[in-house]
Chain A
Amino acid sequence: EAGVAQSPRYKIIEKRQSVAFWCNPISGHATLYWYQQILGQGPKLLIQFQNNGVVDDSQLPKDRFSAERLKGVDSTLKIQPAKLEDSAVYLCASSLVHPSTDTQYFGPGTRLTVL
């Protein structure tokens, strides 16, 4: 079974530029998550989709971050404009349905450096 795919793996941009990350979840997984992991910290949930609807985006900085999950499969996360403090690893995860009972599988992540 293929795992969660993410691209790109690494990205370096200058502040105020825009960037987009892509995620393809495990086939059949209804729930998709985007996490931000700053060095030395645990993953922080940015947004959670169930199929193509948003379940939680309370910690998504909506003035600069946006995410979509068209057709309930792939997802993109965009940052525009980027700030220095956005430097982090962006992790995509997926689960069958419920995060409380179904295992979340993480992708390899995208390491973003904002200069």
Chain B
Amino acid sequence: QKEVEQNSGPLSVPEGAIASLNCTYSDRGSQSFFWYRQYSGKSPELIMSIYSNGDKEDGRFTAQLNKASQYVSLLIRDSQPSDSATYLCAVETGFQKLVFGTGTRLLVSP
């Protein structure tokens, strides 16, 4: 079982819709969770971090964490074509080490 699993996509949504990106992880001891966005040919950039069960909102982005189910998700409201990118889920495992998933490619069509 991979440590961090994501559906590679692509996930296609129309402009203005809600995009829902999901991630599962295997280490029950993980305490820190991150979502990075990576545009094609660019390096990853952090968009959200979440540490506690529940929801965390930042503008159009909402991260959701359920430690019992070992599940973390990212919702993007009012999706824009500029949101088209690969979204990487990263989970802290072991001693201050981040493990990244393979990423989900999101395509937002005008």
Which one of B43, B45, B49, B95 has the greatest number of beta carbons of chain A within 10 Å?
A: B43
Cα separation A109 to B42 with both chains bound (whole Å): 8
Q: Which of A40, A98, A104, A107 contacts B46 (CB 8 A)?
A: A104
Cα separation A40 to B103 with both chains bound (whole Å): 8
A interface size (C-beta, 8 A): 20
Cα separation A55 to B98 with both chains bound (whole Å): 12
Is A56 a contact partner of B88 (Cβ separation < 8 A)? no
Q: Which residues of B contact A40 (CB under 8 A)?
A: 8, 102
Cα separation A109 to B38 with both chains bound (whole Å): 12
Is B31 a contact partner of A42 (Cβ separation < 8 A)? no
B interface size (C-beta, 8 A): 23
Beta-carbon nearest neighbor of B103 in chain A:
A42
Is B43 a contact partner of A106 (Cβ separation < 8 A)? yes
Q: How far is the CB of A71 from chain B (nearest CB, A)?
A: 22
17 residue pairs bridging A and B, Cβ less than 8 Å apart: A40-B102, A41-B102, A42-B88, A42-B103, A43-B88, A56-B95, A56-B96, A91-B43, A98-B96, A99-B92, A99-B98, A100-B31, A100-B92, A100-B96, A101-B32, A104-B46, A104-B98
